């Protein structure tokens, strides 16, 4: 069944933690946009990440949500960075139809040095490495993974390279995260995290219109480009690039309102929003099954006072097992 479209003013605003699909027929553009509030705040505050780390992970969560909600099958979409910078690992995954989890790993000493020296831009914190996009459709299909280099550019630019290399679809991604300091209804100081993002893709009926300028060939490349991009995509991309980071995170600028600001002259339509939730896939049963695969020696080495404790890196839930539970049956 086709998704029902609505014009601005004919629906309730989606609000936070809802992905809004949209279409701009006049520019042959489709995409999704989102603002994350309470869901993201719960993920970040659970680990008490330093602000630069929280901001990075927030962008990864937005990217994961934007791309994961496009899956048309039951499965999992994962975005993961591995680099040699102070923040050496970021990972977020989206399990259909609506569950999100994420965590970050960082070197405290290196992070403190980076903060002291003012080197807190995303590319400085991540360093050199890779950004991997993994699609897992379950046990009946091989996972697909696309990998692009962390090359000193922003996450949104790297995501654009991924789409160009893997899907060859003209794509523009925008990401932003922000801290909010205000007061709650009782007048007490409050700290919150918000983030937002948008992905726009050029999908004309005629495939030849999806041409893009050739990538630079490196040393010796004269820069001559025989093929330019379609005028409609040039306009759409230029409009997306006018988005200010504050617009993506401002609670007073809803997702639909932002889309209207961008594309109203070209007839933007929005579709039914999709809610996303902070839900981990860990369970006592899953972790117990992993531990039951340990040898007797490994179980002995892992226990303390006859008990083995395992804490999920994503949701910080701790599961405790008596060593006797894990011993193989005689």
pLDDT of 329 strictly over 60: no
pLDDT at 259 over 80: yes
Give 266-310 pLDDT, tens digit per residue.
999 999 999 999 999 999 999 988 888 888 888 888 888 878 999
Which pLDDT belongs to residue 14? 83
What is the band of 185 on the pLDDT scale with cuts at 50, 70, 90?
confident
- Supply the pLDDT for residue 79: 97
Beta bridge partners of 90: 81, 104
Would you state the pLDDT for residue 191? 87
Q: What is the pLDDT, as a whole number, of residue 8?
A: 46
Q: Is the peptide bond before 97 cis (omega within 30 degrees of 0)?
A: yes
The phi and psi torsions of 217 (rounded to 5 degrees) equal -90, 5
Residue 99 tokens read as 């569950």
For 218, the token pair is 């490196």
Give the separation between CA 107 and CA 67, rounded to whole angstroms.
Answer: 28
Q: How many CB atoms lie within 10 A of CB 167?
A: 11
Q: Give the model's pLDDT for residue 219.
A: 52
DSSP assignment string, 268-315: EEEE--EE-EE-----HHHHHHHHTTS-HHHHHHH-BTTEEEEE-TTT
d(CA 160, CA 200): 10
Tokens of 221: 């490349």
The residues spanned by each domain of the chain are 18-209+231-278, 284-325
User: How far is the C-alpha of 89 from the C-alpha of 328, rounded, in Å?
Assistant: 35
pTM of the model: 0.87
Q: Indicate the average pLDDT of the chain.
A: 87
Q: What is the pLDDT of residue 262?
A: 94
323 has a pLDDT exceeding 90:
no
Helix (H) or strand (E) holding 46: helix 38-47
In contact, 262 and 235? CB cutoff 8 Å: no
Poorest-pLDDT segment among 119-123, 204-208, 272-276:
204-208
pLDDT at 224: 46
Give the percent of the chain with pLDDT over 90: 62
Tell me, rounded to whole angstroms, the distance of Cα 144 from its chain centroid.
Answer: 17
How far is residue 306's CA from residue 96's CA, in Å, rounded to a whole number? 38
Q: Name the CATH architecture for the domain at 18-209+231-278.
A: 3-Layer(bab) Sandwich (3.55)
308 within 8 A of 320, measured Cβ to Cβ: yes
**Of 6 and 307, more confident:** 307
The total number of residues shown for the chain amounts to: 330
Helix, strand or coil, per DSSP, at residue 326? helix
- Say which residues have a Cβ less than 8 Å from residue 296's Cβ, sequence separation at least 6: 327, 328
Residues 95-109 have pLDDT tens digits of: 999 999 999 999 999
């Amino acid at each position: 069944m086709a998704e029902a479209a609505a014009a601005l003013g004919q629906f309730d605003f989606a609000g936070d933690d809802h992905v809004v699909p949209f279409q701009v027929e006049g520019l042959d553009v489709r995409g999704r946009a989102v603002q994350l509030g309470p869901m993201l705040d719960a993920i970040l505050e659970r680990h008490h990440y330093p602000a630069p780390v929280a901001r990075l992970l927030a962008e990864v969560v937005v990217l994961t949500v934007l791309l994961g909600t496009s899956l048309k099958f039951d499965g999992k979409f994962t975005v993961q960075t591995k680099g040699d910078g102070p923040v050496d690992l970021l990972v977020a995954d989206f399990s259909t139809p609506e569950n999100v989890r994420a965590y970050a790993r960082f070197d405290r000493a290196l992070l403190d040095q980076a903060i002291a020296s003012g080197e807190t831009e995303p590319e400085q914190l991540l360093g050199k490495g890779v950004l991997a996009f993994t699609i897992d459709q379950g046990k009946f299909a091989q996972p697909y993974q696309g990998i692009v280099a962390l090359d000193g550019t922003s996450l949104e630019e790297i995501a654009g390279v991924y789409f160009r290399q893997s899907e060859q679809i003209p794509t523009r991604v925008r990401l932003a995260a922000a801290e909010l300091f205000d007061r709650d209804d009782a007048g007490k100081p409050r700290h919150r995290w918000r983030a937002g993002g948008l992905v726009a893709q050029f999908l004309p009926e005629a495939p030849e219109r999806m041409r893009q300028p050739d990538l630079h060939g490196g040393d010796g490349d004269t820069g001559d480009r025989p093929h330019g991009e379609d005028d409609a995509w040039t306009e759409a991309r230029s409009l997306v690039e006018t988005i200010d980071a504050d617009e993506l995170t401002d609670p007073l600028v809803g997702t639909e309102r932002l889309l209207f600001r961008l594309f109203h002259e070209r007839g933007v339509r929005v579709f039914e929003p999709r809610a996303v939730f902070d839900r981990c896939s860990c369970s006592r049963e899953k972790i117990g099954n992993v531990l039951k695969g340990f040898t007797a020696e490994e179980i002995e080495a892992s226990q303390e006072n006859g008990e083995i404790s395992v804490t999920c890196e994503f949701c910080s839930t701790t599961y405790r097992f008596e060593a006797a539970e894990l011993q193989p049956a005689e």
